[in-house]
Structure 1
Amino acid sequence: MRLLRPVLASVFGSVLALGAAGVAPSVASAAPPARSTVQPLERAHAHNDYEHDRPLLDALDHGFTSVEADVWLVDGELYIGHDGPDLTRTLRSTYLDPLADRVRDNGGRVYPRWRDSLRLLVDVKSEGTAAWPVIEAQLGEYPFLVSSYREGRVHERAVTAVISGNRDLPAMSAASTRFSFYDGRLGDLTGPLDDSLMPLVSDNWTRHFTWQGVGEMPATERAKLRSIVSTAHARGYDVRFWATPDLAGPAREAVWRELVAADVDVLNTDDLPGLQSFLLAQDPEEAAA
């Protein structure tokens, strides 16, 4: 993950001290690999993660290092949901508290011996100007857990929150201190935004590419994809596409292979075991881990 590259060296000692009051981790299901043995997968992003049987936990049991939570602001609280808010689930109860418990249990890390930062993609479905201050206030209650930007510097922690969907760029750009970062679009690649504000650039695959995995990828589209990634990486941005094919089969695997070959940083899926199996078998970075 190119998001906030500095190593998490000095963070974990302070987290250990805070961890004395941690809550025991949730019990994992029998099917996925054990927490101590699962391999973190740098490109694996759980799209609409909250729709799984065990939000967050299923993704972590499959080694995912990026999860997506759609949120709605209702009466001052952030509720989870895609087409509307589920008033039984909040951002805090579904993601922030379980992540805080896990990081305390693991001595400051989401995965043992994994020193990178898990991306929590907060996709704002309600009005962004009202939602962002509430998101910031809640993230600010977990300073040992979430990365921050203060006085011109990024301070990386075990979890990095990135705001997608309805984003308030003016407010985020103006803030001297914040606990979240901006998810840009391909139109931002050559703009003025520094990676300390915009570490991730995401866009809809179908708006930029016609190829859906059937037959060879057109040479012009392959060149376009690699140019996008090269430009983004030169600016310090990660790259993610949504709306890529996600039905199991040759077409999906063909698209995933091209994304890995182009060094796209984030692969979207709703199929946690499918992407886990693919990356362990097909991603050279994971095969060498």
Structure 2
Amino acid sequence: MKKIGNKVWRIFLVLFFIAGASVVLYPVISNAINQKNQTVVISNYEEELKKLSEEEKEKKLQAARKYNQQLSDSNLTIQDPFSGETTQNNQSFLNIGEILAYIEIPQIDVFLPIYDGMSEAILQVGVGWMEGTSMPVGGESSHCVLTGHRGLPEAKLFRDLDKLKKGDVFWVKSLDEKLYYEVYSTEVIKPMDIDKLHIEPGWDLMTLLTCHPYMINNERLLVHARRVDEPSSTELDRISTESGAMNQDKLLVGVIVGGGLLLLLVVRKRRRKSKEDDSR
């Protein structure tokens, strides 16, 4: 009877660990899968970019800048990207393959494609360019707004956006150029105040936008950044070194794997003890 009880206890421990590990590891693994898929999209973008002639790339760049100039001279209304009323804008003159550009934010381990528009299908997998704002090619009197979900069960996306602080630098790769932006402020606003994201004459601005607070989503978190020169190689190395989000996931996996090994040792020890008791 005691032997059966020990066996049931071991089975329960193993099942309990598997269930717990599945719950904890699901977002980590699913995010890794989404990240891999989006990395493929970015790789395809770079491959398609290589196929374009300098003349074709310049034509795309000038078309995007012309659009931005027209935008700065107009007064378009901006819609909340999470209202469900937005659609794809189809400014295809900047598209290369599936995307417009891509963004890298080392401090929070973001490396995602920037898609044309803010449809739910886009926001489920990557970053959307907000209609009615400047296209991500930089330039004076421009204000590009990029938006992403605060996080989904299967993808982190902009979940850690609130961890960015003043002075942090991120970049967008558009055509052949990397555009560097430095965070200068963050704020939380109501969805109806989105239309305040206007162009400031003479400034090259970018705002990252997501829902806030996480899981409640009744407000909007804005991270404002200004265009800066490319950081030195030393500074870029420092930024990469200080990147911590990826290490947190690795630590989590390590803890779970370590816990699994510890559980196996406990089960093995109990089994050995059970055998010793039976042999007496």
Pick the TM interval, shorter chain: under 0.3
Between Structure 1 and Structure 2, whose CA radius of gyration is higher?
A: 2
Structure (1 or 2) with the greater helix fraction? 2
Q: TM-score, normalised by structure 2?
A: 0.26
